């Protein structure tokens, strides 16, 4: 019998919005986002990173006040569900089950909204739950970290960790909206403020020399938590990520993933450190590893390599971690990251490296001996930085009310 061929296209559209004081009752952004096409109040269920809830003790009450003030358009179906933040939630299937049980218990349907507030890990998990419940619930992301506002929160991927591998389970399911409220950034620890900058450095290095130079120009401001400088960085970084996602292979059917420059080692480092390293911190080290490797390979000039590594250091990011040198059967454990990276995408190994600042190029082979030499050089670089660095002040804490 003659085969039947099927072909169709699905159009995805979602906005990334920038605001302050999202839950003040006179801020109409959330209302207008969910009101589109609805003639009755939209059902909302919130999942919140418990670290965010602790840093913003009035957040839950602010959500209740907001939905009450807009009861003609919004219906809060239950108290927000608080879940652990960081990789802890993505490593624990019980947290996913808790979110799914709440979706079931409160009658969240495909015309309801699951609203997630938190860092990238919480957004990953909540988005995964939304994607698999009823084959897809409308999902709104409200990122609360630099990294999630400029990178992970603005894309189309959702995930859980499994079998000791990062993002082994997951879906490609775009949100209906991403809302970046800069007030959430004010309560970040300095460590989390800095870590997210690495993703902006990453995308600038492979795509936009001018953006890289602007990050360099703002490096001291960024380190000192200047909000105007950070807002510029977040907006441009998010813009570049969205342009890339919509430009060619949004669901990663190929074996190329340029936006994961520096990530083959970063994902493995997170695992080797038992996730004590923040994702952004691991990415900074992964970038440093790849640029020094490219220099030793003869692809990247020594001046460009030094410029990049020094920028990472000037922002306050380490370029070496002891887990880079961990060995298993006389081989660097980090090298297993190459196998896992290739397995995750399928096809041939494809790694993004640099031939110049703003000029990425894909390679399909990594010299393991040269990686070993790179790790040794990075250790020496970090030692030199540490010897010349004044001990930083203690973490600064900020208080924000809604």
Q: What is the 3-state secondary structure (H, E, C) of 202-265?
A: HHHHHHCHHHHHHHHHCHHHHHCCCHHHHHHHHHHHHHHHHHHHHHCCCCCCCCCCHHHCCHHH
Name the pLDDT band for 391 (thresholds 50, 70, 90): very low
pLDDT of res. 254: 53
CATH number reported for the structural domain that contains residue 25 in this entry:
3.40.50.1970
Q: Which of the residue ranges 106-120, 147-161, 241-255, 362-376 would you say has the lowest mean pLDDT? A: 241-255
Stretch 89-100: mean pLDDT, rounded? 95
Do 21 and 121 have their domain in common? Answer: yes
Residue 2 lies in a domain: no
Tell me what pLDDT residue 346 has: 67
Name the residue among 259, 231, 263 with its Cα closest to residue 247: 259
Give the Cα separation of 124 and 25 in Å (integer): 28
- pLDDT grade for 381, boundaries at 50, 70 and 90: very high
* CB-based burial, 148-168: b 16+ in 10 Å, e otherwise: bbbbbbbbbbbbbbeeeebbe
The answer on 151 and 81 residing in a single domain is yes
Indicate whether 193 belongs to any domain: no
- pLDDT band of residue 341 (cuts 50, 70, 90) is confident
What is the b/e burial string over 203-219, where b = at least 16 CB atoms within 10 angstroms of the residue's CB? bbbbbbeebbebbbebb
- Of 1-10, 30-39, 160-169, the range with the lowest mean pLDDT is 30-39
**What's the rounded mean pLDDT across residues 343-361?**
84
- Mean pLDDT, rounded, for 151-178: 90
Instruction: Indicate if 176 and 207 belong to the same structural domain.
Output: no
Q: Which has the higher per-residue pLDDT, 389 or 254? A: 389
Instruction: Tell me which of 165, 187, 209 is where a domain ends.
Output: 187
pTM of the model: 0.87
- Residue 348 neighbours by CB distance under 10 Å: 10
Between CA 75 and CA 107 the distance in angstroms is 12
Query: What integer pLDDT is reported at residue 399 of this predicted model?
Result: 37
Same domain, 56 and 149: yes
In tens, the pLDDT along 75-85 reads: 999 999 999 99
7 domain-assigned = no
- 38-71 pLDDT, tens digit per residue, is 778 999 999 999 999 999 999 999 999 999 999 9
Average pLDDT of the residues in 184-200: 94
Examine the pLDDT at 395 and tell me if it is beyond 90.
no
Query: What is the model's pLDDT at position 12?
Result: 83
- Are 281 and 156 in the same domain? no
Q: Is the model's pLDDT at 151 over the cut of 90?
A: no
Considering the domain architecture, whether residues 220 and 175 belong to the same structural domain is answered as no
pLDDT for the residue numbered 392:
45
As given in the structure block, the two tokens for residue 304 are 């460009």
Q: What is the DSSP letter of 83?
A: E
Tell me the pLDDT of the chain averaged across its residues.
89
Could you give the dihedral angle defined by the CA atoms of residues 53, 100, 106 and 184, in that order, rounded to the nearest 10 degrees?
20
Q: Does residue 324 sit within a domain?
A: yes
Of 200-204, 302-306, 338-342, 358-362, the range with the lowest mean pLDDT is 338-342
Q: How far apart are CA 176 and CA 182, in angstroms?
A: 20
Higher pLDDT, 248 or 12: 12
Q: Is the pLDDT of residue 250 over 80?
A: no
Q: Phi, psi at residue 110, to the nearest 5°?
A: -70, -10
Residues 356, 304: contact at Cβ < 8 Å? yes
Report if residue 237 sits inside a domain: yes
Q: For 289-319, what is each residue's pLDDT tens digit?
A: 999 999 999 999 999 999 999 999 999 999 9
Domain interval for residue 59:
15-187
- Angle, CA of 236, 241 and 245, to the nearest 5°: 150
**pLDDT of amino acid 92:** 93
Q: What is the pLDDT, as a whole number, of residue 185?
A: 96
- Tell which residue, 355, 341, 380, has the closest CA to residue 168: 341
Are 294 and 330 within one domain? yes
Nearest residue to 392 via CA among 255, 226, 189: 189
At 298, which CATH number?
1.20.1090.10
Q: Is residue 5 one of the residues assigned to a domain?
A: no
Are 285 and 317 in the same domain? yes
What's the confidence (pLDDT) of residue 95? 95
pLDDT surpassing 90 at residue 247: no
Q: Is residue 256 part of a domain?
A: yes
Hey, is 353 helix, strand or coil? strand
* Average pLDDT, integer, range 128-137: 95
Residues 47 and 166 in one domain: yes
Domain assignment present for residue 397? The answer is no
Domain C-terminal end among 153, 187, 221: 187
**Residue 38 to residue 23: CA distance in whole angstroms:** 20
Which tokens hold the place of 372? 């070993």
User: Does residue 294 share a domain with residue 219?
Assistant: yes
Q: Are residues 171 and 240 in the same domain?
A: no
Last residue of a domain, one of 187, 210, 238: 187
Mean pLDDT, residues 232-238: 95
Please count the structural domains in the chain: 2
Give yes or no: residues 210 and 276 share one domain: yes
The C-alpha atoms of residue 84 and residue 355 are separated, in whole angstroms, by 41
């Amino acid at each position: 019998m003659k085969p039947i061929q099927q072909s169709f296209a699905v159009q995805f559209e979602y906005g990334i919005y920038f605001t302050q004081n999202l839950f003040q009752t006179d801020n109409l952004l959330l209302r207008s986002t969910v009101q589109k096409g609805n003639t009755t109040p939209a059902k909302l269920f919130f999942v919140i990173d418990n670290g965010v809830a602790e840093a913003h003790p009035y957040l839950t009450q602010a959500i209740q006040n907001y939905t009450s003030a807009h009861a003609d358009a919004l219906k809060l179906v239950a108290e927000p569900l608080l879940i652990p933040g960081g990789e802890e939630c993505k490593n624990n299937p019980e947290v996913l089950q808790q979110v799914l049980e709440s979706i079931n218990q409160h009658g969240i349907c495909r015309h309801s909204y699951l609203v997630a507030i938190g860092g990238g890990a919480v957004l990953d998990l909540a988005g995964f739950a939304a994607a698999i419940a009823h084959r897809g619930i409308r999902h709104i992301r409200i990122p609360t970290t630099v990294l999630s506002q400029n990178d992970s929160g603005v894309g189309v991927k959702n995930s859980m960790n499994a079998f000791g591998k990062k993002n082994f389970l997951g879906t490609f399911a775009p949100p209906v909206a991403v809302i970046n409220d800069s007030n959430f950034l004010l309560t970040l620890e300095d460590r989390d403020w800095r870590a997210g900058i690495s993703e902006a450095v990453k995308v600038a290095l492979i795509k936009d020399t001018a953006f890289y130079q602007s990050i360099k120009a703002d490096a001291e401001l960024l380190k000192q938590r200047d909000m105007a400088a950070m807002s510029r960085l977040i907006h441009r970084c998010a813009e570049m990520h969205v342009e890339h996602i919509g430009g060619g292979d949004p669901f990663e059917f190929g074996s190329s993933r340029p936006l994961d420059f520096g990530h083959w080692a970063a994902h493995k480092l997170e695992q080797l450190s038992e996730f004590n390293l923040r994702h952004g911190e691991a990415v900074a080290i992964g970038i440093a590893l790849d640029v020094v490797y490219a220099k030793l390979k003869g692809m990247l000039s020594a001046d460009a390599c030094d410029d990049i590594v020094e920028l990472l250091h000037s922002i306050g990011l380490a370029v070496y971690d002891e887990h880079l040198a961990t060995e298993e059967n006389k081989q660097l454990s980090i090298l297993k990251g190459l196998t896992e990276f290739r397995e995750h995408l399928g096809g041939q190994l494809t790694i993004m490296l640099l031939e110049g600042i703003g000029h990425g190029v894909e390679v399909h082979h990594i010299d393991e001996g040269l990686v070993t030499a790179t790790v040794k050089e990075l250790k020496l670089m970090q030692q030199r930085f540490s010897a010349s660095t004044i001990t930083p002040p203690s973490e600064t804490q900020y208080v924000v009310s809604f």
